[in-house]
A and B are shown apart, each in its own frame.
Chain A
């Protein structure tokens, strides 16, 4: 079976980050890279008249951008280039992922352009709202990591919440495809009101995290080995910072229980992790089986 990875490409730094991460994942897992540029449907609004001439120019320009991107990526990765039209970038990528039966969408996580408010760019944000395919967020600077580095470790962030099951499955599969060692992590934050017995509380939550990890390891398919670690800190951010990370590592997290069409499916823990993580993160939607 050939796995396919869709890269949502834009001709800026954020797109270069996505392309580099996508290329690295594809090279490591021998997957096919589908580099997709999504152009806006001109007639989606009702103010600016559509203009065939401009649309043609845009397509030509995008073709040039794709060719340049492809040249930069090099021969190591099997790839094809696509231009698609959609109402929004996120919508076009999800549609492309379905079209190619892709198992992953890669986008740049960094915000770009003007008026960005959150740390996650609006494109990644939209995608996290709407995708039913796992989404990999390439942090700013991913373009500096060479494709040849491959994937040096897969880390699955497991919790007791629903969604963890699929995180575990997909982590195992990805580790096998990329021939990378698997690490399971349970994050504990000990953020307590003053006056509580901190020692006791810390002990209790660490014990709980241990249970979660034991449970997860028991659920691993036969023949799979994994290391596991409990990361604790006063906050999730500190817990994440306390862990050691490889340059070529990829982290998987599950989507929030609260995922509804109107809500970010990135849970609060996951978004705190994203703020701190030096490595790419793949968000696995709840419904993925």
Chain B
């Protein structure tokens, strides 16, 4: 943490000098490993980056909803969606270097704009991750039963997914499993994770190749000619459609920023994080474009059968396309998506838990949230609370929406716009005295985060207004208002209510006594 508010540690009886000297002596001898965060190499950083982005999982969730908005201009929207994410991530890196803190957006926004905005920034981050946790677990459930159906050659098993009770029960089991793993901090060893990521990429490439092979052989469902216009966002026709597509596509790059901020002391040299981030995003974008084009060429955007325009298959594209494209090897896709979801579930669990921990630590939430498990060194209480909320959210959603996965992704897009936007402006404002110290600062502390923040703000409000239309996205609605709008507003207003409640219970934070406003100076 950047600040240590009111920590009353009992003074040790033991020779305090020796004691604290020894504690501080962590940088000598054996504990060269003390600089542990730095020991990630280039490949390690790329593997972590790809695990966090989880391309197999994000694509299966995002392909359909994006095609529903922008049709064949899918590749263009994926490319365009990267721009705001990159711009904000650059600002994110500046903040992370200046104030490394487990509270990230919450802490930074509080420092820049004070407790109220900071609190809502933290809330946005927590909401986004809780929403995505439920989506991840939901996708994992579908592929779990699909894999079983494929393994036993019994398509009836895959139909269990449609049974809400079975579906919710399985999903809760997955969430409990992921919580245990996170709570105990059981990490896959690097070697295993290298293989899993490699496998995931290979299956995606194989999927794309097989799709084009079907097109060439005339066995594709709806062979569609690849055109340059796929890369032209102006061909979409409507601004609203582009915006809606973008706010979904933000999600496919979400998590990539960790490679940028992983650490300044990454093993080797100072350039490693930059190279890791560049390589990660190159790999991910190449895979996205290739698979997106393969899927479009194979299935077209028709509204029947396997057409990507068919609402019945849109919320989980690979679930339906893997069979016709990969034939007997379709089970590999199920395994790839499952392993990708599992890794993502684990890395995603960490962020709400750490933000809740920071909020507890600075007194923006009850102190309990700041509890660290003495045995596993994880934010235990916060992890469990996140899991309960994610499980509850999924259960409620499963019963009020027919298109849970789609609606959660659309809601997620809005939440990302919200808290990334706040973070971007926090960067601009926090560094306001340093803007013109160098040309580098002009770009990284002012232009990039400001433009990124403005784009996200426009996306946020346009999507929010459009989503009031009951026909928006999946077409789920409550009382004639689009479900995504209702969800987003309920989530944000809940945040406001809890914030006022905390203001009443814990005024110190809101008076700026635990985490004060500040501005970066030389």
Is A260's CB within 8 Å of the partner chain B? no
Is B194's CB within 8 Å of the partner chain A? yes
The answer on a CB contact under 8 Å between A85 and B33 is yes
The contact string, 1 if C-beta is below 8 Å from chain A, for chain B 116-146, is 0000000000000000000000000000000
Is B305's CB within 8 Å of the partner chain A? no
| CA A266 to CA B44, docked complex, whole Å | 37
Is B497's CB within 8 Å of the partner chain A? no
Specify which chain B residues have a CB less than 8 angstroms from the CB of A40 in the assembled complex: 185, 377
The answer on a CB contact under 8 Å between A81 and B23 is yes
The answer on a CB contact under 8 Å between B19 and A79 is yes
In the complex where A49-B52, A52-B100 touch, is A81 in contact with B37 (Cβ < 8 A)?
no
Specify which chain A residues have a CB less than 8 angstroms from the CB of B52 in the assembled complex: 49
Chain B interface SS verdict (over half): helix
The answer on a CB contact under 8 Å between B12 and A45 is no
List A12-51 residues whose CB lies under 8 Å from chain B.
12, 14-15, 39-51
Give the most central of A11, A42, A78: most B CB within 10 Å: A42
The answer on a CB contact under 8 Å between A67 and B193 is no
The contact string, 1 if C-beta is below 8 Å from chain A, for chain B 357-372, is 1100100000000001
Pick from A49, A85, A99: contact of B262, CB under 8 Å? A49
Q: Which residue of B lies closest to A58 (CB)?
A: B377
The answer on a CB contact under 8 Å between B19 and A80 is yes
| CA A286 to CA B433, docked complex, whole Å | 65
| CA A55 to CA B265, docked complex, whole Å | 14
Is B39's CB within 8 Å of the partner chain A? yes
Q: From residue A31, how far is it (CB to closest CB) to chain B in Å?
A: 14
Is A218's CB within 8 Å of the partner chain B? no
Specify which chain B residues have a CB less than 8 angstroms from the CB of A63 in the assembled complex: 9, 23
The contact string, 1 if C-beta is below 8 Å from chain B, for chain A 145-171, is 000000000000000000000000000
The answer on a CB contact under 8 Å between B100 and A65 is no
Q: From residue B339, how far is it (CB to closest CB) to chain A in Å?
A: 11
Specify which chain B residues have a CB less than 8 angstroms from the CB of A78 in the assembled complex: 14-15
| CA A112 to CA B350, docked complex, whole Å | 22
Pick from A45, A67, A99: contact of B10, CB under 8 Å? A67
Is B469's CB within 8 Å of the partner chain A? no
Q: From residue B111, how far is it (CB to closest CB) to chain A in Å?
A: 13
Pick from B31, B40, B103: contact of A85, CB under 8 Å? B31
Pick from A56, A61, A80: contact of B372, CB under 8 Å? A61
Q: Which residue of B lies closest to A46 (CB)?
A: B193
Specify which chain B residues have a CB less than 8 angstroms from the CB of A96 in the assembled complex: 30
Q: From residue B365, how far is it (CB to closest CB) to chain A in Å?
A: 15
Q: From residue A279, how far is it (CB to closest CB) to chain B in Å?
A: 24
List B412-434 residues whose CB lies under 8 Å from chain A.
none
Q: From residue B419, how far is it (CB to closest CB) to chain A in Å?
A: 17
Pick from A12, A67, A71, A84: contact of B374, CB under 8 Å? A12
Give the most central of B13, B96, B193, B259: most A CB within 10 Å: B13
Is B190's CB within 8 Å of the partner chain A? yes
Pick from B14, B99, B375: contact of A80, CB under 8 Å? B14
Is B225's CB within 8 Å of the partner chain A? no
Specify which chain A residues have a CB less than 8 angstroms from the CB of B376 in the assembled complex: 113
Specify which chain A residues have a CB less than 8 angstroms from the CB of B102 in the assembled complex: 51, 53-54, 57
Is A95's CB within 8 Å of the partner chain B? yes
The answer on a CB contact under 8 Å between B190 and A82 is no
| CA A247 to CA B343, docked complex, whole Å | 49
| CA A39 to CA B37, docked complex, whole Å | 12
| CA A63 to CA B343, docked complex, whole Å | 31
The answer on a CB contact under 8 Å between B375 and A112 is yes
Q: Which residue of B lies closest to A99 (CB)?
A: B30
| CA A77 to CA B14, docked complex, whole Å | 8
Q: From residue B145, how far is it (CB to closest CB) to chain A in Å?
A: 24
The answer on a CB contact under 8 Å between A43 and B36 is yes
Specify which chain B residues have a CB less than 8 angstroms from the CB of A10 in the assembled complex: 374-375
| CA A69 to CA B513, docked complex, whole Å | 29
Q: Which residue of B lies closest to A12 (CB)?
A: B374
Is B219's CB within 8 Å of the partner chain A? no
Specify which chain A residues have a CB less than 8 angstroms from the CB of B343 in the assembled complex: 47
In the complex where A53-B100, A54-B102 touch, is A86 in contact with B375 (Cβ < 8 A)?
no
List A78-120 residues whose CB lies under 8 Å from chain B.
78-86, 95-96, 98-99, 112-115
The answer on a CB contact under 8 Å between A73 and B36 is no
| CA A85 to CA B38, docked complex, whole Å | 12
The contact string, 1 if C-beta is below 8 Å from chain A, for chain B 1-45, is 110100101111111001111110110011101101111100010
| CA A32 to CA B418, docked complex, whole Å | 55
The answer on a CB contact under 8 Å between B33 and A66 is no
Q: Which residue of B lies closest to A40 (CB)?
A: B377
Is B189's CB within 8 Å of the partner chain A? yes
| CA A81 to CA B25, docked complex, whole Å | 10
The answer on a CB contact under 8 Å between B36 and A46 is no
In the complex where A10-B374, A95-B30, A96-B30 touch, is A70 in contact with B12 (Cβ < 8 A)?
yes
Name the 4 nearest CB pairs between A and B, nearest first.
A45-B187, A46-B193, A70-B12, A11-B374
A-side residues, CB < 8 A to B, are 10-12, 14-15, 39-61, 63-68, 70-71, 73-75, 77-86, 95-96, 98-99, 112-115
Beyond the given pairs A57-B372, A80-B19, 16 more chain A to chain B contacts, judged by CB atoms under 8 angstroms and listed by A's residue number, are A12-B374, A41-B36, A45-B187, A48-B48, A49-B259, A50-B263, A54-B354, A56-B1, A64-B7, A67-B19, A78-B14, A79-B15, A80-B15, A80-B21, A82-B25, A85-B26
**A–B complex contacts, Cβ < 8 Å, 15 sampled:** A43-B37, A43-B39, A45-B190, A48-B346, A51-B37, A53-B96, A53-B101, A53-B104, A54-B102, A54-B357, A61-B372, A85-B34, A98-B30, A114-B183, A115-B184
